[in-house]
């Protein structure tokens, strides 16, 4: 059985004030976390404080939402993976559709970010997913395949497997519209099958999580699917009680 992964992507939300309240609001004590990786990804300015509040031995890890590709130097505004790791992050999200759209990040840059994260010792959560127009045009599998191939080309399957893939259909993000469990499972199975053609063992171990309007009501049905190994949670991850519920659902029946 693959260990599950549940990550909260706070996006551009939060404050220093929120950090302690959030951690106090997380109530994971009754949850067996051996088989679930729990990750909180606040805006990068809060990573160090959040990591400190969580404590080094915490079963809850901290992650970044993006990373630069260089190691250091004259790159104003960029952040190296090594700096995120130095601040206490253990994971990093790359290729989120909001960055692909708002910052025009292309597949090869996303792949380079995954590689940079790995170089810095971070576990990349690589986001893939189609827009509504692409799905309506029947292109969803081709788009996800292309996004994955770019990453595999740069980091290999072994690199990919150090982190996770997050399937996040763009039309389901922040819209309240979740992909049906069947639609999500279909894409997750497609992704696993595609990776299995390169290395069946690694593909079997690979965590593929779903993101897009996951909440405490729909998480069980999604996580019940054979190829859905957890979730990348946006809006519902801003409330520690709701996020706790989602983690508990992921920890169930393992
Ligand atoms: P959402 O965001 O849960 O608010 O839809 C998910 C994401 O963008 O990672």
> Tokens 């983690």 correspond to what residue?
247
Count of positions (residues) in the chain: 254
The helix/strand count (H/E) of the chain reads as 11, 8
User: What is the C-alpha to C-alpha distance for residues 231 and 245, in angstroms, rounded to an integer?
Assistant: 12
Ligand 1 touching residue 168 (CB < 6 A): yes
Ligand 1 touching residue 63 (CB < 6 A): no
> Which residues, 6 or more positions from 55, have their beta carbon under 8 angstroms from its beta carbon?
none
Closest listed residue to residue 8, CA positions, set 227, 208, 195, 240: 240
Q: How far is the CA of 213 from the centre of ligand 1 (A)?
A: 5
**129, pLDDT greater than 80:** yes
User: What is the C-alpha to C-alpha distance for residues 104 and 243, in angstroms, rounded to an integer?
Assistant: 30
As to burial, measured by CB atoms within 10 angstroms (0-12 exposed, 13-18 middle, 19+ buried), residue 226 is: exposed
Atom of ligand 1 nearest to the CA of 213: 5
- Residues 157-191 have pLDDT tens digits of 999 999 999 999 999 988 888 889 999 999 999 99
Confidence of residue 124 (pLDDT cuts 50, 70, 90): very high
111: its two tokens: 């792949």
Query: What is the pTM assigned to this prediction?
Result: 0.96
Determine the angle formed by the axes of helices 240-251 and 16-25, rounding to 10 degrees.
Answer: 40
Closest listed residue to residue 109, CA positions, set 158, 150, 162: 150
Sign of CA dihedral 221, 227, 229, 231: negative
Return the H-helix or E-strand segment holding 4. strand 4-9
Q: How many CA atoms lie within 13 A of 150 on its CB side?
A: 20
Is there a catalytic annotation at residue 96?
A: yes
Active-site residue, from 96, 98, 105, 130: 96
Closest listed residue to residue 41, CA positions, set 121, 113, 124, 112: 124
Closest listed residue to residue 47, CA positions, set 66, 21, 29, 27: 66
- Residues 104-121 have pLDDT tens digits of 999 999 999 999 999 999
pLDDT of residue 253: 59
Q: What is the DSSP string of 132-188?
A: HHHHHTT-HHHHHHHHHHHHHHHHHHHHHHHSEEEE--GGGSSSS-PPPHHHHHHHH
- Residues 35-90 have pLDDT tens digits of 799 999 999 999 999 999 999 778 899 999 999 999 999 999 999 999 999 999 99
Confidence of residue 99 (pLDDT cuts 50, 70, 90): very high
Active-site residue, from 105, 168, 188, 245: 168
Classify 39 as helix, strand or coil.
strand
Is there a catalytic annotation at residue 188?
A: no
User: What is the C-alpha to C-alpha distance for residues 116 and 100, in angstroms, rounded to an integer?
Assistant: 17
Ligand 1 touching residue 163 (CB < 6 A): no
The two beta strands, 123-128 and 230-233, are unpaired
């Amino acid at each position: 059985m693959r260990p599950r992964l549940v990550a909260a992507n706070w996006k551009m939300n939060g404050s220093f004030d929120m950090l302690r309240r959030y951690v106090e609001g997380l109530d994971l004590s009754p949850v067996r976390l051996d088989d679930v990786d729990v990750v909180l990804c606040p805006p990068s300015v809060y990573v160090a404080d959040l990591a400190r509040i969580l404590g080094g031995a915490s079963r809850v890890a901290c992650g970044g939402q993006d990373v630069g590709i260089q190691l250091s130097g004259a790159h104003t505004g960029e952040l190296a993976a090594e700096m995120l790791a130095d601040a206490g992050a253990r994971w990093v999200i790359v290729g989120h559709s909001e960055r692909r759209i708002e910052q025009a990040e292309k597949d090869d840059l996303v792949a380079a970010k995954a590689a940079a994260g790995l170089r810095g010792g971070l576990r990349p959560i690589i986001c893939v997913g189609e827009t509504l127009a692409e799905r309506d045009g029947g292109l969803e599998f081709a788009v996800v395949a292309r996004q994955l191939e770019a990453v595999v080309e740069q980091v290999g399957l072994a690199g990919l497997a150090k982190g996770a893939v997050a399937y996040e259909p763009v039309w389901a993000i922040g819209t309240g519209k979740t992909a049906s469990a069947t639609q999500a499972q279909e894409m997750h199975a497609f992704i696993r099958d595609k990776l299995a053609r390169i290395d069946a063992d690694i593909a079997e171990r690979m965590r593929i999580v779903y993101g897009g309007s996951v909440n405490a009501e729909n998480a069980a049905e999604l996580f019940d699917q054979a190829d859905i190994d957890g979730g990348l949670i946006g809006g519902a991850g801003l409330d520690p009680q709701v996020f706790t519920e989602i983690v508990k659902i992921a920890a169930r029946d393992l």
